[in-house]
Amino acid sequence: MNTPDTHVSVAVQAETLYLLNLLLLPGLGFLGLLWLAYRNADSDSELTRCHLRQTVSASIWAGILLMLVTLLIMFFGGFESPYTWMVLILYFLTCHATLILFGVVGLTCAMGKKTYTYPLIGRKKW
């Protein structure tokens, strides 16, 4: 039987895996997050469903924003242009830091037993 503490634990694990995916183990953190979402997809807890929904959605958006846009900047700006590198570094650092900030706020909310919707990249319903 799932207890309220179990739901908080799953929400915290989801947010932790999201941050792990961004900071330490890209790809492996995402696979762990997908596994956690699969195992808890039928959870009766709104807290668990909310944090799983947000972290999976945000991880997909993070991959698109950090990989695809970076490749587009490189393609259109040229590999050897210093301006391309300046724009690329500024974009990557700003975007990455913002995504990390969303994850830290989400982790704080999960620890406080509150639901949280990521701004711009979050999903309202699963």
* Within a domain: 33: yes
Residue 88, in any domain of the structure: yes
Segment 31-70, tens digit of pLDDT: 999 999 999 988 888 999 999 999 999 999 999 999 999 9
For the chain, give the percent of residues with pLDDT over 70: 91
pTM: 0.88
The angle subtended at Cα 100 by Cα 98 and Cα 122, nearest 5°, is 75
C-beta separation of 50 from 12 below 8 A: no
Flag whether 119 is in a domain.
no
Domain residues for the domain of 70 are: 4-111
The number of distinct structural domains making up the chain is 1
